[in-house]
Each structure stands twice: as structure tokens, then as C-alpha cells.
Structure 1
Amino acid sequence: MEQTLVLDGNGDRKILLPTGNLISVPQLIINDAEVTEFDFSASGWIELRSGAFPHRASCVEVTITHGFASAPVVEHLIQSMATRARMSPAGNIINQRAGSQSVTFASNGGEVASLPLLASEKELLAPYKLNWGPAI
């Protein structure tokens, strides 16, 4: 998909975009001036050939083409989760009572519990997870 993002500058030569598969960068604007001297990587980094991004809020506007043409792993995962959900016809009901009609749903922190991802499913999704760089 093509998308235009407005981002905060970080005072560095490089900035990380919220994408897992950067295909092209048709336009980069910093402080209302178009910049053409930059490089980018498929993992989402844009690096200026000279200078640095200002350390200011909303000073970077970038138009990008990014995403995946297909994601068969994600499609398979959705099918797998749907199958697991069908295997539990009561869903997240943990208690039922007919006299006076009472139903208790599984909950976590006050919210109705949902179908959680398995550890193996999280591993399969890892390549599609957005990365905003190392934790500080």
C-alpha cells in the first residue's frame, strides 16, 4: 500500500518507519523541504546522506510504498485459530446455570478473555511485527 506518514524527528541521521517491508520512498519532506539524498532499507530505515533529522515533533513527512503482496503464514494462522475456536462450542463460557439463568464468562483483568495466540503462532507472526527499534 502507499501511505503518507507524519513523524517526529529524532536528531539522528536515521529514522525507523513503522513497516516491516519497505518497498519504495517516493517522497521525503523535512521541515517543508523535499529531500532527495537519502537511502532506505526494506526493514524500514531511512538514512540521510548528509545532515540529520531535526529533533522536533511532526517535522518529517514521508510517502512510502510498503507491505506484503501476500502473507500465507498469516492466512494459515487465521484458519488455525478459527478451527480452535470451533472446537470449543461454548467459547469462553466457564459456568452456566439454568435455574435463574446465569452465565459466567472467562475473564482477565475484568475483560472477557479471548482466544489467545499460542507461542508457536507468535513465532510465526514475528516477521510481520512492527519494530520501533531497540528498547531503551
Structure 2
Amino acid sequence: MPKNRPKTPKPTAAELDLLRVIWRLGPSTVKDLHAARLSDRPDLIYATVLRLMQVMHGKGLLTRDESERSHVYAAAHAQDALQTNLLGDLIQKAFSGSAKSLVLAALRKHVSSKEREEIRRFLAENPDE
């Protein structure tokens, strides 16, 4: 990676949870996101979501439209782009730069038989990728 390119911010686990909701819902207010998370986390406090979103905005993970009374937040990075960046970091840090080692580790312990079949189909349909 060139040194003059800005680094993509690294979300925490809590930030990734919130990003998944934003990617699913699209641009949302704090109230929208709090309501969406309540089904999974009934103890989640509105102020906690607000603070987390403010921190995420400061880190560059979210954009904020302040033109309305209720600010609307959106993901600053597309889901696939952020996941690809995080995956690259994981490959470097945990697998010494070997994507093959990551894939083999995933296949050994973390892939269901249904997922294996999907992977086989993908590889058969995309032999050069």
C-alpha cells in the first residue's frame, strides 16, 4: 500500500455491528438504528448508539447529513470495500500474507457443507478468478 494513501479506519466489533445495520437499512437516524438494534439488544440505550455513531463519524466510518433536525448517518465505505480491506489486514497479520492459509483454515473449521457446495460451484463457474 502506498504511504501517501489514507488508511481506511478499522472498526471495532461494536462499530461493525452497527455498520451491518446501516448497510442493510441505508442512511438512517440514530433513532432508526437504535430501533433496529433493539430486537437483538433490548438493553441497548439510545445514548450509547448516539455516542458510538458520533465516534464512528469522527473516525471516518460514517458520514453525517446535518441539513435536517435529525442528523442522517450513512456508511462512508461500501460494505465489500471495507470487508476486503479488513480481510487484507487479517491475511497479513494472522496468516503471514498467505491468502491460501486463510482459505484452508476457514475450510477446515468454519465452512458448512452448504457453503462448501457454493464454493465448489463458484470455482467451477469462475476458473480464472
What TM-score bracket applies, with the shorter chain setting the length? Answer: under 0.3
TM-score between both structures, scaled by the size of structure 2:
0.24
- Asked which structure has the greater RCO (Cα within 8 Å, sep 6+), the reply is 1
* Greater fraction of residues in strand: 1
TM-score between both structures, scaled by the size of structure 1:
0.23
* Greater fraction of residues in helix: 2
Query: Rg larger in 1 or in 2?
Result: 1
